[in-house]
Each structure stands twice: as structure tokens, then as C-alpha cells.
Amino acid sequence: MLESEEYCHKMDEPKERLYFATGYGLIQCVKGIMSYEDEDLLAGIRHTKHGNQIASEHRKKQAFLGSRLAGYVVSSLSSGVSHIKGMTSVERHAELVYAESLFEKALLGIVYSGDWLAFIKEALNMRTTIGIYRQLGQFLDSADAEAIAAGHGPTDKTIDIHFRSGVYLGIGMSHLILSLMPGKLMTFVELFGYRGDRKLGLKALMKAGGWTQEKEEPEISAKEEGVRRSICDMALLIFHLVLSSFTFDCVDISIAAKILKWNLKRYPNGVFFLFGAGRLAVCQSQPKLAVHYYTKAMESQKQYRNLHHISYWEIALANLALWNIPASLECWTHLKAEATWSKSTYAYGMAVCLLEIGDEKQKEEAVMIMKKVPELRQRIAGKSIPLEKFVARKARKFLQQGNRLALPALELSYIFLGIAHAPREVIVNKMLPEIEKLLTKLDTHKSDSKKYEGGSYWDDYCLAHFLQGVCLRYAAYPDPDAVLDPNETLKIPKEEAATKSEEAFRHVLENGPKITLDHHIVYYTHYELGRLLACQGHHDAARNEFELVTSGKYLEVGPSGRKGKYSMENALQMRCHAALDAIHQRRL
């Protein structure tokens, strides 16, 4: 990326040429999002805005007012396929670059804006971008259809591959973004005539590189590719390897694996593809291999320290999955000292690891850090970040209970899918014993729960059984993409683990009304019980559990017993809707 930035400076210092202006703007956009610093975000906004202005100067001039008004009745006069056909090649590229730079500026604006008015303004820019991409996509479809009819297909060779790859990127990304929106927001967006088709979006991104389900190698070689082909590949990797944490529909790890294999041959030290290799290893429940790739990603470049923070984050979570607490602590410490994305989360991660290690001196340090966690929260578009709200609540609870939390490191690991991606031997031999120690302690206070240290007996009781149920569920039914060790031997048979998992979840649901603060445990229990039932083939029962969560009903107490939303509600709602869509796909 540094070489690209220097090349843009060298070839076009004032940034007056179309692709140098937008390319430089894209680099500043990535740097702003990586650092999350106001200075970098403002620089990104400034340069993407400049790229947008350069593109505007090269776009096809709008028709006179009469034609534009008539275009609202007869759209082909001022927009659509005929409008794009009437453009020169430069004007088409300018239209594409205009949409790209507008999208980048809107994205940075949403991250930077501190109020809803700015957020709405940038959201409207997103709408303009999507509209342009749809028109360009319709133009490509029309041109290719004409080429096929004339016997020159399957694509129109007069359209250059660089423009084509840009349209595929825009169409693919806009469909994916819309398809990932929550139901209520999607209903609002549909009023403007937009709807996300996930399959169509993925198909468009795969077209840019010539990827197919059947072949291991792409049909488009490096010599024939468009300039945005690598970005399309990265978008596919992000969907299959990162966004798969929140959705199941259309996720295919095998596609990600072959895209990575091909790109790592071309760019063995390419930092983004090394990140991808790390994520693939995580998705395949190989956190030790993931640590190797993330470490290699850090070693591959020294110029952008912010890229190291991505590695530290992922290594911290991978080490939680390995239950290597000291190694995870080291990464959280680096993040707390240097990174700016979510300082409250980094501080909380560091504190819970210190508590898990258990040294008296480290516990004192954890107390000092916990006191600061609520103060370190940030806002995006004037709204608090749900994860930061969660860790702030847990930090306050820690202080209220006399500097004590139940299984905080294991709970954090669950939230970041560390248990889901942990090797089964780690789950059975390291994680479950931690839970069993707490359950033994809880049993001694069951007859008189008020004497339990720091109170919140039933909160800890339900959390312990919930985490026990999750661990046993993954011991019985590993993640469908997990690469299992053929020599692995477990202390507990599959059937026994599944039975005990369900029993643990039932304990939570039975005692959920007694919870004082951590009401989210009940809702997450319904979700995890639904996933367990789906793995066992009880699809109707699983659907019932998911629908209980999405119904919005009070599941743990009466309507007057709880104020506001429970922790991490939106994330759970998204996962439940995704689970309902994929209930028969055997991906739960």
C-alpha cells in the first residue's frame, strides 16, 4: 500500500487524473478506517471528496431541465441503459469512479459523524451510489445480451475488463450490504425500490475473477484481469470468512480456500491475503495455525502499524480459543497501548485475562483497568457501540460485586466465537474444568444463595450452565467447517455430551427469572439450544427457539421486571434471523 501511495504522488502530484485521484483517495480511506483517528478520517474524507469532484468533471453532462423532468416519466431519456450507451468510454469510467468515491466518502462520513443528521446525509449518498451501480449493471447485461445475439458472446469484447470488474465490484458489494441489513431497516430501504440479492451479489464478485464452484483455478488469468479483481476477491473473503460470524446463508468456506490459495501464490507476503489465511484457519477450528499466519502478516510489512493491530486482535482471540491466557493478555496489552478502534474492549480484554491468571498483583491492576472501561467508550453516528456497552456493564458489575466476575475470559471467548472455533480437546480438557470448578462452588451455596459472595448467585449459576451447554454442544457437534484431528480422543462420548448440553441449557431456562442483571443469558440460551436441536435434526423445535428470540417477547421476566434492551440484542437478533434462513443447510 505504501508503494501505491508513493506511485500516485510520483505520477500525479496534484491528483488531477481520474484514476490517480480515486486510487489515492481509496488508500486514505483504508488508512482512516484502520486508525480510526479523527485526523486520518478527515484526510480520507477530503481526498475521496476530491476524487469525487475529479470524476464529476469527466462525467457525461446532464441533459437540459426539460429532458431531466421528462426523464421522471420516460426514464430512458435521462437515465438507464440508453443514457450509459450514449457515454464515451472515459465518461463511463468517470461514472463508475464517481460512484466508488461517493461510496468511500459516505462510509468515512458515517464512521466520523457524531450525529444522526450527518448519518442520514451520508446514507442518502449511499442510495445514489447504489442507483448508479444498478444502471451500470443493466448496461453490462444489455451489452452482453446483444453480443450473444450477434454471435460474439458470451461478453461484449468492446467493454474493457477494468470497467467490467468495477461494475461487478459495485453490484456485488451493494447487493451484499443490502442483504445483510436487519429486517426493520430492510423494510425501510425497500420503500426506495432497493432489495439485496445475496446470491446475485456473490455471483457478480466471482465473475470478476472467473471463479466457479466446480473449478479450483479461476477462468480469468492474471494477465486478463481487471484492475479491481483483487478487491473483488478480498470482498468474497470478507463475506465467507468474517461476515460468516453473523450469517450462514450462502457461506462457502471452500470458495474462500481456493481464492486464498491462488492469491497467496501471486502475493506470498500480501498482508490482506495472509489475514485471510488466518481467518480461514480460525473458521476451520485451527487457532494455532491462525496465530502463525497473523504473525506472518505482521512480519510482512512494518510501514502501517495499524495493520499490526488487526493481527493482535485476531491473535488475542485465537489464544482465547486455545485457552492460552498469558499469550492473549500480551495482545490485549499491545492493543490497549496503541490501537484506537475500541479502547474499552481492549481494556476489558486485558482485565479479564489478568483476573484469569489470578496473581494478587495482577488482580490489583485488573481493578484499576476495570474502573476505566466505562470511560473509554466511543460513539459512531451518535450511537454507542453495543460491544462497548456490554463490557462497560460487566466492568460496573465487577466493581459492584467486590471486584469479582464469574468466568469473564470464557464468556468473552464465547462472544467472539472462541469456543465455536476451539479444538475439541481444548474445550473438554481446559474450558470445561474451569466451568466445573465454578459449578462446584455454586452447589455449596444453593441452599442459601444470599450468602454467595458478592450476590448475583443466579446470574453466575445461569452463566456457568450456559457456557457448559455451549462447550458440550461443540464437543458433540463441532463447527461444520472444522478440520478435526483424526488422532483426537475425547473423554466424553458424542451422545453424552449432547444430552448434558441440553440439560445445561434447560437449567438456565428454568432459573432465568431469578437473574438480577445478566438477562441476555436467557435469550442467548434459546439461540444455542435451537442450534443444538438443529444439529440433532429437530428442525421444528429449533425453529421455535429461534422464533422466541425474534418475537420480541420477554423471555426471562415479566414486562415490568426489565428496563430497556438486553446486552448484545441486535447481534443476537441478526444471528437468529440468519439461523432461521439456514436451518436446513446443516451449517448450524
The cell for 393 is 456493564
Residue spans per domain, the chain: 1-159, 307-422, 432-588
> What's the pLDDT score for residue 71?
42
* 514, 458 Cβ separation under 8 angstroms: yes
pLDDT tens-digit map of 100-122: 999 998 888 877 775 556 666 77
* Domains 307-422 and 432-588 agree in fold: yes
Across 170-198, average pLDDT: 80
Q: Quote the mean pLDDT of the chain.
A: 90
Residue 383 phi/psi, 5-degree rounding, is -115, 145
- Please compute, for residue 289, the number of CA atoms within 13 A of its CA located in the half-sphere on the CB side: 16
Torsion of Cα atoms, 26 then 29 then 35 then 41, to 10° = 150
Q: CB count, 10 Å around CB of 106?
A: 22
Q: Could you tell me which CATH number the domain at 432-588 has?
A: 1.25.40
The cell for 394 is 460487566
CATH domain 307-422 topology: 1.25.40
pLDDT tens-digit map of 346-399: 999 999 999 999 888 899 999 999 999 999 998 776 678 899 999 999 999 999
The cell for 396 is 460496573
Would the pLDDT of 229 be above 80? yes
- Percent of residues in the chain assigned helix, strand, coil, to nearest 5: 70, 0, 30
Name the pTM for this structure. 0.91
